Chain A
Amino acid sequence: MISFDNAAYSYGGAELLTEITLRLVPGSFHFLTGPSGAGKSTFLKLCYAELLPTAGRVTLFDREVRSLGRDDVARMRRRIGVVHQDCQFIDHLPLAANVTLPLTVSGRDGDPQDLSDLLGWVGLGALADALPPQLSGGERQRAAVARAVIMGPDVVLADEPTGNLDWEMSLRLLTLLVELNKMGKTILVATHDLNLIRTAKAQVAARVLRIKNRRIQLAGADL
């Protein structure tokens, strides 16, 4: 689904990630951890082709990312739901329009009932007409999850999805991601919240990856 073959990424002469070999198989649940600035966001951007590897190969759905045109990248991104650290909404559009944006740009009409169900599932049923700046941090994060899954993507990537949330809200968000995984979605969550990872491992067979010295390694039982 997404695979890295000895991939590396450098910027301005500095190597941020190196010797990454990894496969995200369908239906898997991975956490990616490491200290701030370790390269978690950079790794996620490589996963949805916002960045291209400077060495090695990254393959999305059996296609090497460097061979993809801009339209190909757009089509790939419709199969990958991303929950960004800063959520990234269009502020002048109401929440419902932001959540359905992936459908809109791909020329598909969403079923209003499905949208209503989805917003209810993330606990935002009453806020469909609210503008993003009117939402709290937790509401924005849940809206980002809703937008990430509305296309029924094969993969969901989440970058510090609980970074701005209290513990109760973090657990609620984690539950959403676990439910998605149980529906067969491949999940990759970048976080430095070890408590969240321990809680998740009690609910789902999650593998934990750690970025250390610019390399990704499988974390041990110390987590």
Chain B
Amino acid sequence: MIRAALARIARRDRAADRVVPTSGPTAWLTSFTAGAMTFLAVFALALSLASGRLADRWSEALARTATIRISAPTDQIAPQTQAVLDLLATTPGIASARAMTDDEQRALLEPWFGPDLPLDALPIPRLIEITEADPGFDAEGLRQRLSAEAPGAVLDDHTRWRQPLVVAAGRLRLLAGVSIVLILGTMAAMITLAANASLAANAQVIRVLRLVGARDSYIARAFVRRFTLRALAGAAVGALAGMIGIAFLPAADAAGGFLTGLGFQGAGWLLPLALPLLAATIAFVATRIAAFRKLKELT
């Protein structure tokens, strides 16, 4: 039924179009609202996609690595490190494990303690970097084995600080999704108001049409078609402007982090193009409901 109605919308009926006066403030109001809301929706969509990518990246990057920290008296560090590496070599789910060199550990600490850190003179724990296989290892089982083989070894599988980041990115994505829904809902409300105003302003035309035998669907179609096309045109301009705005954002780089990654990638550029169609569909449904309700009040 909706498809047939949309087909009738697409098919121009000059006689029906002429029945409703063309001018009026509702014309630009509908186009402007659709354009502005679609412009905002493009940014919300970009935010949603970027936060989704960020969540995936964090999950992926952190889920594949873990660290074992060995804190022991200086003379116990080397034997415990070797014991842990031997243990890891026989642990299922671990692709590789290696002890970080003194230089690597010094590089890690350099931002806080400076380049001349006397690593040998300080009780710095030894770090072992683990790369997980697919599927990963049993963290709890590994902890128990470590406590037996190397009492000074502590497994850090990054879960504690990975999880909040992933949750935050997920929430950001949800927030962006809710924003899109609110934007589209506001668009529907504004178009409904504009349609109601237009129907009320044309009450006399509607009355005459009913008196000469016009069906509600005929009268509604004249209004619905006009509002749908106005919303489509306004939203197309808004989507285009939003896409240009996104395209001119700085390119994604590591230093920019999240903000410079706020854009579309690859096929993601096609998604904003769906917004004008969505806006037109919203206008179609909102105007149709408003028109049929108003028609019952007017005649």
Binding site for B on A (CB under 8 A): 48, 50, 70-71, 74-78, 82, 84, 88-90, 92-93, 97, 101-102, 104-106, 147, 151
Given A70-B216, A105-B218, CB of A88 within 8 Å of CB of B211 = yes
Say yes or no: A74 contacts B19, CB within 8 Å.
Answer: no
Say yes or no: A82 contacts B208, CB within 8 Å.
Answer: no
Q: Main secondary structure on chain B at its contact with chain A?
A: helix
- B212's contact among A71, A75, A101, by CB below 8 Å, is which? A101
The number of inter-chain residue pairs (CB within 8 angstroms) is 59
Closest B residue to A92 by beta carbon equals: B21
Given A93-B18, A104-B15, CB of A88 within 8 Å of CB of B207 = yes
Binding site for A on B (CB under 8 A): 15-16, 18-19, 21, 204-205, 207-218, 295-296, 299
- B213's contact among A50, A77, A90, A97, by CB below 8 Å, is which? A77
Given A93-B18, A97-B18, CB of A102 within 8 Å of CB of B212 = yes
- A74's contact among B18, B205, B213, B296, by CB below 8 Å, is which? B213
Cα separation A70 to B217 with both chains bound (whole Å): 10
Q: 9 tightest CB-CB pairs across the interface, nearest first?
A: A105-B214, A78-B213, A77-B213, A102-B212, A74-B215, A104-B15, A101-B212, A88-B208, A74-B213
Given A92-B21, A93-B18, A97-B18, CB of A74 within 8 Å of CB of B210 = yes
Given A70-B216, A71-B216, A90-B205, CB of A82 within 8 Å of CB of B211 = yes
Contacts of B16 in A (CB 8 A): 104
Closest B residue to A50 by beta carbon equals: B211
Given A88-B207, A88-B208, CB of A102 within 8 Å of CB of B213 = yes
Contacts of A102 in B (CB 8 A): 212-213
Cα separation A75 to B15 with both chains bound (whole Å): 19
Contacts of A77 in B (CB 8 A): 210-213
Say yes or no: A106 contacts B213, CB within 8 Å.
Answer: yes
Most A Cβ at <10 Å: residue of B15, B205, B213, B214 = B213
Jot down 17 A-B pairs with beta carbons below 8 A, ordered by A. A50-B211, A70-B216, A71-B216, A74-B216, A77-B211, A78-B212, A88-B211, A90-B208, A93-B18, A97-B15, A97-B18, A102-B212, A104-B15, A105-B215, A106-B213, A147-B212, A151-B213
Closest A residue to B219 by beta carbon equals: A105
Tell me the smallest distance from the CB of B289 to a CB of chain A, in Å: 16
